[in-house]
Amino acid sequence: MDALNDDIAEYMNQLSKGQIQKAYRGIMSFMSGLRTFLEERHPDCTAGSLYSGYMDMTYFAFTPSGLRSYKLKIAIVYLHEKGSFEAWLCGSNRKIQAEYVDFFSRRDTGEYRPSQVTPGGDSIIEVTLSERPDFDSPEDLKREIEKKVLKFAEDIASLLRV
């Protein structure tokens, strides 16, 4: 096992190259722009604050009005290590989340991955939005994510009405 000093030395070495900072700023800028894009195009929805994370995930909550009454929201998540975007259905608190994990575990959720109740688990159902995002075409990527998030929200709302 590496000592923390060794890990920090490698971290500093990588930072000295400059690519990590540039990539991280680009990801944060894209996520902030995506949040604004969705908020402007969907004023009936609520967009939460951007959570930058610990270089593991970056996300913000996006709550379509149709899910608000169920105390549910969608987290739009960028997973740094995978380099992919996902949408996670989340509850407003752990109790709500556990209830919906149970609810959806007894239903056919189709293409969506139901989660298991685990300590610290954050999602109820997950879907991949973009496995290999093209950050060099940010407007196309925003529209791709928007389309898939809205479909996810509609599908979840349909499952809730059954």
Is the pLDDT confidence value at 1 over 90? no
**For residue 120, what pLDDT is reported?**
65
Write down the pTM of the prediction: 0.92
- The radius of gyration of the chain's CA atoms, rounded to the nearest angstrom, is 17
Q: With respect to CATH, is domain 4-161 assigned 3.30.930?
A: yes
Domain ranges of the chain: 4-161
Query: What are residue 4's phi and psi, to 5 degrees?
Result: -55, -40
- Per-residue pLDDT tens for 98-125? 899 999 988 899 989 888 766 667 899 9
Q: How far is CA 93 from CA 97, 98, 160, in A?
A: 6, 9, 18
- Per-residue pLDDT tens for 3-22? 999 999 999 999 999 999 99
